[in-house]
Structure 1
Amino acid sequence: MYSLELARSLTVSILTLFLVQGGNLCAADPATKETDLPAVGDTAKDFQLATPKGENVSLSEQLKKGPVVLLVLRGYPEYQCPVCTRQVGQFIANAAKFKKAKASVVMVYPGAAKDLEKRADEFIRDQSLPENFYFLVDPDYKFTNAYHLRWDAKRETAYPSTFVIGTDDKIKYAKISMTHRGRADAKEVLKALDE
């Protein structure tokens, strides 16, 4: 009979080798190490991306206005991700609370450059973005790779991630999901902004 400690050890070992995704086992990307991932206390790397309509937005400029909530979506992994759609809708529903916290919400939609703007428009077309929300495209994963969030597997794009970045460029909150689920919700992000 196995002890509880041995069972936990085996579970951790198995999860280290594989990620559970929608009932299927998918090999973890060996190029991504946990130590490479952005973490609380790290200085956030500056970036500049554009909206699907071509308006440039940079992290450094947004931080001059207040803290930034950075939401990394899955982009278009051959379909529009329903979990991303729900998460974005939840954040938009809490727009007044993010504005009260003086926070900008920057959403990044990564993917191959071909048709990315078209797919991004499809994703966001039914949403009306509040003034403190920015929806940006990441063609060919330039940002995603710089942040070590590339999920380089078939029908994958990026690890869904959420960060709160303070005006001092430091990451105050980080949640990176190695599956399609396990996303940060608006309530926990608002709590992190309040701390």
Structure 2
Amino acid sequence: MKYLISIISLLFLHQITFAQEKDIYKKYGIEVNTLQPGLNVGDIAPQFTGVDQNGNPIQLSELLKKGPVVVNFFRGSWCPSCYKHLKSLRDSLDEINATGATLVMISPEEQNSLNDFATKKEFTFSMISDKDLSIMNGYKVTFEVTEKYQKKIKTFLFTDIAANNAIKQAALPVPATFIIGTDGTIIAKQYDPQYSNRMSPTEIINALNQE
């Protein structure tokens, strides 16, 4: 009887926790039933190709021949938290490069907007527009944005998320970082739907130094 009561209590607590998580996720603009879980450490990183803001062809398989690759997903140039994180990576780029790693940024935003953003903010690392969300979906970081949050971004950041994206849909990535070893395996990651939480340059460098 005590065992049954314990099981019921645990299930009840799980339901409460899940309901709380749903409320938190909605606060961050996430349609909960569309939220992808992100790949895990030990998974094989999906290959991708693209063209960055400098017109350079980017192919993950080629980058891995030179060393590990840090793949960072961000929401767009309109996102203050994203800019803050990208700035910290820019300011630590020499230390990241010293590990032999390459840093690649992925966003659903139109390439022209990313190009302007990179030029204005002096970002020299590659920034790729995920035009059809295939890279985001491959790494399982995509979610659909709630209408309430879309209205909030329009009001306070003057950005129409769907119009800003190359695919013209209101879909975003969970801001996530995947560090990929030269064998193509994910050796470290940071994934958090609460978009203000990011992998710091120090954490990235420490993970790379353990490669």
> Does 2:138 match 1:146?
yes
Pairwise CA RMSD: 2.3
What CA deviation, in whole Å up to 9, does each residue of 1:137-172 have, x standing for no partner? Answer: 111312112222112114351111101100010101
SS in 2 for 1:98: helix
- Aligned residue pair count: 178
Residues of 2 paired with 1:89 and 1:184: CA distance?
13
After TM superposition, the score normalised by the length of structure 1 is: 0.80
Say if 2:47 and 2:61, in contact at 8 Å, map to a contact too.
Answer: yes
Equivalent residue letter for 1:12: T
Q: CA deviation at 1:53?
A: 4.5
Equivalent positions of 1:123-138 (< 5 A) are 123-130=117-124, 133-138=125-130
Give the aligned residue type for 1:41: G
Amino acid at match of 2:119: R
From 109, 112, 120, the counterpart of 2:114: 120
Q: Is the alpha carbon distance of 1:50 and 1:177 closer, same or farther for their aligned partners in structure 2, counting shifts above 3 Å?
A: same
- 1:157 matched to 2:175: no
Cα distance in 2 for partners of 1:73, 1:119 equals 14
- 2 CA distance for matches of 1:32 and 1:167? 29
Please tell me whether the aligned partners of residues 25 and 32 of structure 2 are also in contact (alpha carbons under 8 angstroms): no
CA deviations 1:172-194 (Å, max 9, x no partner) are 11111212211111111111111
Q: Distance in 1 between matches of 2:29 and 2:20?
A: 10
Residue aligning to 1:91 = 89
Match of 1:72 in 2: 73
Q: How does 1:1-195 map to 2 (within 5 A)?
A: 9=14, 12-20=17-25, 24=27, 26-34=29-37, 37-75=38-76, 80-111=78-109, 116-130=110-124, 133-154=125-146, 155=150, 156-195=171-210
Any unmatched runs of 5+ in structure 1?
none
Instruction: Identify, as 1 or 2, the structure richer in helix.
Output: 2
Change in Cα spacing, 1:129 to 1:25, as seen in structure 2 (3 Å) is closer
- Structure 2 residue runs of 5 or longer lacking an equivalent are 1-8, 151-170
- Between Structure 1 and Structure 2, the one with more strand by share is 1
Does the CA-based 8 Å contact 1:66-1:104 persist in structure 2?
A: yes
Normalised to the residue count of structure 2, the TM-score between the two structures is: 0.75
- C-alpha contact 1:19 1:178 (8 A) present in aligned 2: no
1:185/1:8 Cα in 2 relative to 1: closer, same or farther (>3 Å)? farther
Aligned AA for 2:24?
A: L
